[in-house]
Structure 1
Amino acid sequence: MIPFRAPVDDILFSLEHVARADRLPDWDAALVREVIGQFGRFAETAIAPLDAVGDAQGCRLDQGRVRLPDGFAETYRAYTEQGWPGLALPEAHGGQGMSEPVLAAVSEIFSGACHALQMVAALVPGAARTLLGFGTPQQQALWLPRLASGTWLATMALTEPGAGSDLGAIRTRAVPDGDGWRISGEKIFISGGDQDLSEGILHLVLARTGVPGEGTRGLSLFLVPSQDESGQRAPVTVARLEEKMGLHASPTCQLVFEGAPAELVGAPGEGLRAMFTMMNHARLDVALQGVAHAARAGAIATAYAAERRQGRDAQSGAPLAIAAHEDVRRMLETAEALALGGRALCHLAAVALARGDAPDLVGFLTPVCKVFCTEAGVTAADLGIQVLGGYGYLSEYRVEQTLRDARVTMIYEGTNGIHALALVTRQLRGGGPEAFEAFVAASGGGEDLAEGLALWRAARARVLASSCPAALAHPFMQLTAGLAYLAAWQRIIAVADRSSDPTRLERAAARVRGSVPVALRGWAALVT
């Protein structure tokens, strides 16, 4: 097994020099470096050792309650004692008030160390942002300190049997009950739906308050605490604990709400608007999960390829590390380029989100980041397995676990196909496309980028003129994501001399220049 090492230097280079987070008004470079470095050390020593244990043991359902694998509760306790749950929550509510880019850095490291545990904890920032945007002052005062302290965790309860991507088909009902509400229904695929880490769980539940047939207009958002103030558990039952391909230590639950007490968040009928606040945060977080898997797979493969000997040097006759073979070098550099470029793309979106002055760009880039980076994570993991050969297929080096864990990122928080469909049917109108064009144009010169932007503009016109844009959704998303990736790499190349290893970046950049423009022409041809 090759130990996990947090890519702190790569993250800091990307944040400070590529995404220019140092331009944020509250950016304290020394403090940020200390925070990210400290979490990296905690992840390496306390979180990462849980990953193999969690994968082997998985979760279990014991008398209606979910139990996580050995060591998870103790590590989560240390995580809360160090204050990490409240990293990006407001200081007025017990948090530390750090910015979105710092949270992005910590989230990536957390995912690389143990994606399963990160999933249980990762919904807190999105839940907090939803409460800040739509909750009452009383709800904020009660729940934000509990989320910031880690004594409570959060879930996002949307999906139902037959109502996944089509949220308008939700059947879970909310009915008035005195000053509150009661919720009845069934939710599936609920990450962290139950666990033995936190004192309580705050379920954010999308339920129907309107009449059937109203679609998403009849949906409202509710807070459903797992227990009341006296500790009495709410009528929320774990009906099933899912067995999954990967993320064995992340409890994915089927929950049954049987008249559970609930509080309305925001206005009746505006639940989807409120929930999208949480979902949009989650989508950028999922993109970073893909980056984390790409980086981890690349690190395992690079370490292995430097030690594994096969063949001899033609001149000296000395044994040759497989990293010197061209096909292995191709795979290593591709995986590394995917991680570096995907990270930069996410950081550019995160910094724009923190600035708050480019909402059209953030709205356009977020699903593109989600699609590109999750596919990058799966691709890099697959390449890692190939580099290790037979050992990659075994569990010893755990790159096969990386592939298993990464695969679901292309499915949850909106399947990649749904995001591609939304791009061609909704997002090509309004300010998003113009903001994206400006983003690409501002990434620097170069014939490849100029050609890519021209191809994209022609493809966009073809999509807008099409009577069936859905048929063009996949190639147009791939073209858009590839162009965004190329733009991110252009920005990396421009500041490569500020990294600790410019030669490494130049090798990866050469791989990008040699493959991405060709791919863009191919995707554009499928659209136009």
Structure 2
Amino acid sequence: MQGYKAPQRDALFVMNELLGFEKHYADMGFEDATPDMVQAIYGEAAKFSENVLAPINAVGDEIGCQFEDGVVTTPPGFKEAYQQYVEGGWASMSQPEEYGGQGLPYSMATVMAEWFSGANHSWAMYPGLSAGCMATLKAHGTKEQKDMFLPKLIEGSWTGTMCLTEPHCGSDLGMLKCKAEPNDDGTYSLTGTKIFISAGEHDMSDNIIHIVLARLPDAPEGTKGISLFIVPKFNLDENGEPGERNSVFCGSIEHKMGIKASATCVMNFDGAKGILIGEPNRGLACMFTFMNIARIGTGIEGLSASEASYQGALRYAMDRLQFRSLTGRKNPDGPADPIIVHPDVRRMLLTQKAIAEGNRAMAVYCMQLVDQTLYSDDAEQKQLADAKLSLLTPIVKAFLTETALETTSHGMQVYGGHGYIKEWGMEQLARDTRICTMYEGTTGIQAIDLLARKVMGSKGELLKVFAQEVQEYCASIRGNTQFSAWTNAVSSHVDEWLQITNDIGKRAASNPDELGAAAVDYLMYAGYVTVGYFWLKMAVVAQQKLDEGTTEKAFYESKLHTARFYFDRLMTRTRSLVSAIESGADNLMAFEDAHFGEVS
């Protein structure tokens, strides 16, 4: 996409003015992470995004990754950009100092991940997979394993992957067949095929560390019989350096509709040497550390696409002359008016803006929760943050990517016929983003996770914890009559959210299909309500700044106007979602299979 600019000002607004990150970092023990220091780092990250990553985005899409005889070559400029990333210290920023990291908080690096992805989605996936690999090792690895693998991963000279999916099992990991046979030296020999492995093979790092799910010989069936293994591309010699090639090879790469410069590999394990991580048959629980990081990361990819698409559409709408305004000429010296004067173009632009900025607030809030789970010394705060994060993670993954489908579609539509022409980059954003709704668990999988596992599985307690926060905030500003309508809308929606949950639970007690029938609409409802909560908070902060006499009047007025648009035109979508939820499962499940029609 031409002319990408990292949204530094809005990110800093969310961090410092909305969520109080200065105090948050001090409370977590990061006193050095002052607003000035964070802003200086972000300035450099913005330059890297705009000047290094964005210029090679189009060539990555055009050329893609090349595969020949098991070797994957990334597009021109990708390897060099990665070396700049490593040399700049970006890989090690939020990693522990004891293994060579800089010891800065998780959230600092994750905010920048949006910019890297917005500038170049394909490239950003390589370090993104490494982050999940490192998180799994830190959480579940032994000291010896951490000492062996973390320093090089943190340095960035090695990268990581996660290997879950097999040809016969996608989200249903209980069907997994990859086997791990014990060796005499305490290692294991892994045999099987994994598919859809992002960054499974490439030319950007000296070694690739695969985190692999497999079954031990005596493992029970289903998900309770899965173990987790570390399988390096190159086995390590006595000095801890890459030595002989391990028996894991890339069999092919997928030809995809988007993110073409991110290698999506078929990986063949042919007696590959692996090291057990965590307890036997407890691998899926360990892998959830990786998966949860990846789900938040995928949601941020959706956010980045919404922002990039908005930037491109806004720039075009300001310049493109077509027709005259219905209320009179706005550009009398030109042959037509810029298309931004037309109500429908403004509808699309404001939808993009409201979604991007609202979703950013929710995403950064979740990053703050992750910080608390990682660094807080307060056990109660840690537990509360974990509960909220459990509820919000599937919403972040699915809502941010589903709404990105809409925003990138609007981006193409604003361009009209030019929207599907490659040179503008808007159709690439739409193609890349479409994939985000499917990997790391489809929207339907995330919705079932939210409704069945998180909400019903906790007997509603996870939802109540977050609902209490929202209601307490609404109560705290009820005296502010300027925002009464929006406050009442958020508060009443939270009450309705709890009631809908109760109603679904009652129906599901006699018919479990009610959960599946309601799940996606339920998740989208939850997303609109949660983003509504953050738009209310942003509006209140913006008004406070205006009342104080800010020099950035346009910025804060924009927040207020965008909040109005959100509550008038986007929050109201919950009405149709409630109607669909209340219609129940019968209109789906009573439909006979034969009525779908014949297939040859």
1:85 and 2:91 are equivalent in the alignment: yes
- Does 2:372 align with 1:355? yes
Distance 1:410 1:514, change over 3 A: same
Measured in 1, the distance between the counterparts of 2:571 and 2:528 equals 9
Match of 1:436, as an amino acid?
A: F
1:465 matched to 2:493? The reply is no
User: Within 5 A, what are the aligned runs for 1:219-258?
Assistant: 219-230=226-237, 231-258=243-270
* Separation (CA, whole Å) in 2 of partners of 1:10 and 1:183: 47
Report the alpha carbon displacement of residue 212 of structure 1 after superposing the two structures with TM. Answer: 6.6
Tell me the distance in 1 between the aligned counterparts of 2:538 and 2:224.
43
Alignment of 1:304 onto 2:334: no
Of structures 1 and 2, the one with the larger relative CO (CA 8 A, separation 6+) is: 1
Which residue in the other structure is 1:437 paired with? 467
Of stretches 185-194 and 13-22 in structure 1, the one that deviates more from structure 2 is 13-22
Instruction: Determine if the alignment matches structure 1 residue 194 to structure 2 residue 201.
Output: yes
CA distance in 2, matches of 1:365, 1:422: 11
SS in 2 for 1:228: strand
1:356-435 equivalence runs, <5 A: 356=373, 357=381, 358-429=385-456, 430=458, 431-435=461-465
Change (3 A) 1:59 1:275: same
Partner of 2:11: 11
Say which SS state the counterpart of residue 107 (structure 1) adopts. helix
Aligned-partner Cα distance in 2 for 1:114–1:78: 15
1:365, 1:436 within 8 Å by CA — same for their partners in 2?
no
- Is the CA contact 1:443–1:487 (under 8 Å) kept in the aligned structure 2? no
Letter in 2 for 1:222: F
Instruction: For 1:2 and 1:434, locate their aligned partners in 2 and report how far apart those are by CA, in whole Å.
Output: 44
Match of 1:75 in 2: 81
Q: TM-score, normalised by structure 1?
A: 0.97
SS in 1 for 2:180: strand
For residues 204-237 of structure 1, give each alpha carbon's deviation from its aligned partner in whole angstroms, at most 9, with x where no partner exists.
0011115476111110110000002353211111
Describe how 1:127-276 pairs up with structure 2 within 5 A: 127-178=133-184, 179-209=186-216, 211=218, 214-230=221-237, 231-276=243-288
Give the match for residue 291 of structure 1.
Answer: 303
Aligned AA (1:12): L
The verdict on how the C-alpha distance between 1:115 and 1:252 changes in structure 2, with shifts beyond 3 A counting, is same
CA contact (8 A) 1:455 1:524 kept: no
TM-score of the aligned structures, taking structure 2 as reference length: 0.86
Aligned mates of 1:161, 1:212 — CA distance in 2: 20
Q: Which has the larger radius of gyration?
A: 2
SS in 2 for 1:276: helix
- In structure 1, distance between residues paired with 2:236 and 2:499: 59
**Structure 2: how far apart are the matches of 1:271 and 1:35?**
37
Residue 533 of structure 2 aligns to which amino acid in structure 1? A
The amino acid of 2:221's aligned partner reads: E
1:496 equivalent to 2:542? Answer yes
Output the amino acid matched with 2:443: N
Kindly provide the amino acid, as one letter, of the partner of residue 9 in structure 1: R
Offset of 1:316 from its aligned partner? Answer: 4.7
**Partner of 2:261: helix, strand, or coil?**
coil
The answer for the alignment partner of 1:119 in structure 2 is: 125
Structure 1 residue identity aligned to 2:109: L
In 1, the alpha carbon distance for the partners of 2:217 and 2:297 equals: 32
- Deviation per CA, 1:339-397, whole angstroms, max 9, x where unpaired? 00001001111101212221100110111111110112111100000001001111121
Aligned to 1:37: 43
Q: Which amino acid aligns with 2:337?
A: L
State how far apart, in whole Å, the 1-side matches of 2:213 and 2:6 are: 36
- Secondary structure of the residue aligned to 1:405 is helix
Which residue is equivalent to 1:507?
561
Aligned equivalent of 1:100: 106
Stretch of structure 1 that moved more, 197-206 or 363-372? 363-372
Alpha-carbon distance in structure 2 between the residues aligned to 1:383 and 1:211: 53
Q: Which residue of the partner structure matches residue 488 of structure 2?
A: 447
Cα distance in structure 2, aligned partners of 1:30 and 1:41: 17
Distance across 2 between alignment mates of 1:112 and 1:443: 32
Task: State the match for 1:343 in structure 2.
Answer: 360
Please give the alpha-carbon distance, in whole angstroms, between the structure 2 residues aligned to 1:309 and 1:105: 36
Tell me the distance in 1 between the aligned counterparts of 2:209 and 2:119: 25
Q: What CA deviation, in whole Å up to 9, does each residue of 1:255-289 have, x standing for no partner? A: 00000000010110110111000110111111111
1:452 and 1:517 in contact (8 A); partners too: no
3-state SS in 2 of match to 1:396: helix
The number of residues matched between the two structures is: 528
1:452/1:483 contact within 8 Å kept: yes
Q: Give the partner amino acid of 1:450.
A: S
Q: Is the 8 A contact 1:87 1:97 kept in 2?
A: yes
User: Are the aligned partners of 1:308 and 1:321 in contact in 2 as well (CA < 8 Å)?
Assistant: yes
The one of 289, 293, 296 aligned to 1:277 = 289
Which segment drifts farther, 13-22 or 452-461?
A: 13-22
Residue matched to 1:66: 72
Residue 334, structure 1, aligned to residue 351, structure 2: yes
SS in 2 for 1:368: helix
Contact kept? 2:219, 2:281, Cα under 8 Å: no
Per-residue Cα deviation, 1:290-342 (whole angstroms, up to 9, x for no partner) = 00000000000000000111223544572311111110001000001110000
Query: What percent identity do the matched residue pairs reach?
Result: 34
Classify the secondary structure of the residue corresponding to 1:122. Answer: helix
Counterpart among 543, 549, 570 of residue 516 in structure 1:
570
Q: Give unpaired runs (5+ residues) of structure 1.
A: none
Partner SS, residue 311 of structure 1: coil
Following the alignment from structure 2 to structure 1, what is the Cα–Cα distance between the partners of residues 90 and 571?
Answer: 41
Q: Please state if 1:478 is matched with 2:524.
A: yes
Tell me how far apart the structure 2 counterparts of residues 200 and 18 of structure 1 sit (CA, whole Å): 41
Question: Structure 2: which amino acid aligns with 1:290?
Answer: G
> Structure 1 212/510 Cα, relative in aligned 2: closer, same or farther at 3 Å?
same
